[in-house]
Amino acid sequence: MTSAQQPVPPRPTSRDVARAAGVSQATVSLVLGDKWRGRVSQATAQRVRECAGELGYRPNLAARSLRLGRTRTALLVVPALTNEFFARVYTGAAAVAAEHGFGVVLYPSPDGTGPARDPFASAQAALDGVIASSMASDALGALHGAELPLVMLDSDPAGPEAAAHVNLDIADGMRQVTEHLLALGHRRFVHVASAVDTWTFAVRARALHDALRDVPDAAVRTVRASLDVRAGHEATARALAAPGPRPTAVVCDDDVLAAGACKAVRRIGLRVPDDISVTGFDDLALATAVEPELTTVQLPAEQVGERGMAALLAVLDGRPAERGSLPVRLVERGSTAPPSAVAALS
């Protein structure tokens, strides 16, 4: 949550209504489901409706449909559609869903970046469950209250309660990047880190620092940037202009930032990789559109979506979801090379 955002109060649940009205949750369900006649007194029904109105409680139609077993629809929550990674996650999830007669409703963040907010305000379909890449805590609270199965993608396994987790081996990806650059002879690094505060980017930073910890002459400077080319350019430019020996390698949290880093290197009259090597992460189409093409970590986005949907189907069937992180691999291209003798001494 940024400093400009205010905490969102938790969504009232049927338990809150029951407590306020002095009745059971079953009674609340009967009244708000319009099935109370002959089972609950009119006075009690009126009290429940009044309490629900005062609390702003809204019955969750998705949860009700789930209990009745009428839906074959999953909600996929992603931070943004401006990044092709999440479009590919959707493609994978939708393919597995179609094989089992399911549909997938896509919910991106209204802001286009960062965690998505509460999806229930705009989701029009009843749901069997939710697959989420990143969500705000209030949305997770709503999911928990609705008793919808939740599968988390690329998220902290020790984080909010979920029925299953599907993760990439992000730490190994950053280790591969670091080992590649060390083997080339690089020792002075800049880490252009994502300014988005999520588990996946925290893992990248931790893996980079862990890999360099036991290299006596290695040094890394971290600069943060929002996930766009301009921000990557500006952050890299600041790092390259800082006092002290110039870094010989720029490690970026994703390919978009790496494209900005390459631009920053060129703008000061240097060359990639002759003077400074640059690496990305994700292996987006952008990675081969820039010149030189980016050395980056390839993430199997479609497999993330496929396994996420498979995990949700397993949970709905009462089966254990597949465990283990999906492997990632370094793709070496033209943006990395050994540091030049001049760069190493500058």
CA–CA distance, 232 with 256 (Å, rounded to integer): 7
Domain ranges of the chain: 11-59, 170-299+330-345
In the prediction, which pLDDT does 300 show?
A: 96
pLDDT attached to residue 113: 56
- The mean pLDDT of 263-273, rounded to a whole number, is 96
Distance between CA atoms of residues 247 and 190, nearest Å = 6
Lowest mean pLDDT among 49-53, 229-233, 263-267: 49-53
Residue 137: pLDDT over 50: no
Q: How confident is the model at residue 124 (pLDDT cuts 50, 70, 90)?
A: very low
pLDDT at 75: 87
% of the chain beyond a pLDDT of 90:
53
Identical fold, 11-59 and 170-299+330-345: no
Please report the pLDDT score of residue 239 as a whole number.
Answer: 96
CATH 2.60.120.460, applies to 170-299+330-345: no
Residue 274 CB-density burial (10 A; 0-12 exposed, 13-18 middle, 19+ buried): middle
Q: What pLDDT, on a 0 to 100 scale, did the predictor assign at position 145?
A: 53
- Looking at 251-300, list the stretches that DSSP marks H as alpha helix, in order from N- to C-terminal side: 255-267, 286-289
* Poorest-pLDDT segment among 27-31, 133-137, 158-162: 133-137
Sequence-distant (6+) residues with CB within 8 A of 154 are 133, 134, 166, 167, 168, 170, 199, 200, 304
Cis peptide before 119 (omega within 30 of 0): no
Range 208-213 contact pairs with CB under 8 angstroms and sequence separation of 24 or more: 208/174, 208/177, 208/178, 208/251, 210/175, 211/174, 211/175, 211/178, 211/179, 211/182, 212/178, 212/182
Q: By mean pLDDT, which of 130-144, 191-205, 213-227, 243-257 is the weakest?
A: 130-144
**312 vs 63, which has greater pLDDT?**
312
Q: Name the fold adopted by 11-59.
A: 434 Repressor (Amino-terminal Domain) (1.10.260)
Whether 52 shows a pLDDT value over 70: the answer reads yes
pLDDT of residue 134: 66
How many angstroms separate the Cα of 216 from the Cα of each of 176, 220, 325? 19, 12, 31
pLDDT in tens, 275-298: 999 999 999 999 999 999 999 999
Average pLDDT, the chain: 85
Position 58 pLDDT exceeds 60: yes
pLDDT value at residue 260:
98
| Backbone φ and ψ of 271, nearest 5° | -125, 145
